[in-house]
Copies of this chain bind each other. A is one copy, B any other.
Amino acid sequence: MVNRFEAIMSRVEQNPDKKRCAVVCADGPTREAVREAETRGLIQAEFFSGDLAPMEAVRGVHAGQFDILLKGNIDTAVLLKEVVNKEYGLLTGRLISHVALLDVPRYHKLLLLTDGGMVMYPDLDQLRGILENAAGVMRRLGVELPKVACLAAVEKVHERMPETVRAAALKELQQTGEIRDCLVEGPISFDLAFDREAGRTKGYDSPVAGDADVFLVPDFVSGNLLAKSLVYGGGARFAGFLAGARAPVILTSRASSAEEKLYSIACSALVSSLSN
């Protein structure tokens, strides 16, 4: 099996122009991950602590002094309040959504799952923003035409299942050219998106079947359950950050390992590097 997060780290290491990471209120695991990332040559870090740390770090990113924002041991809400500040925050006019990159041993490539953490019950417009953020991240990771699976429990559109209606609408937006530079399929069930053989058995013909890059979920509850089942049930490794802001924002939780923070830093550095 290709060690896919390590492949991303190698690419970031080889970039001579190291990305600068603002670290807010680092705790032990955060400090450990940042030191490891610096040792590997992934980033250059600066630490902010104290009550003003969230504001100072966000102002620094706003001013272009930093390419990545990394949350340590503070409430997510406190940091997000600064991120969305209209004067000095990181808003770009795009929707801000969460992307999880998962390295699942039983899948043949890195996959992106969204949005399991930021936009709770998205409507069609928000789903479109989530989709476009995700496709953009995948392109910056080197996938030229990302394949997006708009997940549901079934493949048919039923009016009484609103997630199937929205999935079909997203597919149509891509087919009419409203959504560009990606290939959208939906509604599609998880087995068909994940497993080529399942598609053959069900006679489901789509280039996205068994080969999706982006797994777009209907809401954050299903996304959260799905990501955690892939990590705990499927042995997946996880990286996560916010997309759609001026810079990637890494919001790892208290339970996140130093390893998870390290992968998040590496992926953020690659996304940041190629978007400038």
Contact = CB atoms under 8 A, between A and B. Distances in A.
Interface of A: 104, 106-107, 116-117, 120, 151-153, 160-161, 163, 189-191, 194-195, 198, 201-202, 217-218, 220-226, 228-236, 254-255
Contacts of A198: 232, 255
B229 A233 contact: yes
Contacts of A153: 116-117, 220-221, 223-225
Contacts of A116: 153
Nearest to A161: B120
Q: What 5 A-B pairs come out closest when comparing CB atoms? A: A233-B234, A153-B224, A222-B222, A190-B228, A234-B234
A116 B191 CA distance: 14
Contacts of A104: 233
B120 A160 contact: yes
A232 B120 CA distance: 26
Contact of A190 (B117, B152, B190, B225): B225
B120 A201 contact: no
A243 to B, nearest CB: 19
A232 B190 contact: yes
B228 A230 contact: no
A234 B120 CA distance: 26
Nearest to A236: B233
B106 A225 contact: no
